[in-house]
Amino acid sequence: MYQAQSDELFFFNAHTAALPLYEAFAGELFRLFPSTSIRVQKTQITFSNRHVFACVSLARVRRKTELPDPYLVITLGLPYPLASERVAVKTEPYPGRWTTHIIVGAQAELDDQLWEWVSQAYNFALAK
């Protein structure tokens, strides 16, 4: 099981209920992509290889009443717009790069479909 480090724990200080979701996500991410770098910032935790491929945040990408409690927002950089009802928001900050926000409210949502998207984001970041 993944154990969050002190800076990650501090990030979740006001949202401790979301920490188990994060630890489940980060644990699987580091199992699949062990050479991943992590950077904890004020508003997000960033995962990168050559470039950023995923972020975790507590951003409000929907109305508060529409968000599960607890929740995480997993943001992926993809080369295409992801067509799924699981996507909360997607934008194209520049041609050929789509920023996709996915809300996760339970560990069961860290499923094979999500990991396929994370893998695509990882490979897209390597190829840039």
Phi and psi at 45, nearest 5°, equal -110, 125
Q: How far is CA 121 from CA 3, 8, 61, 76, 79, in A?
A: 24, 22, 20, 6, 8
CA 82 to CA 63: how far, in whole Å? Answer: 21
CA 73 to CA 48: how far, in whole Å? Answer: 17
- Write out pLDDT tens, residues 72-120: 999 999 999 999 999 999 999 999 999 999 999 999 999 999 999 999 9
Say what the pTM is.
Answer: 0.95
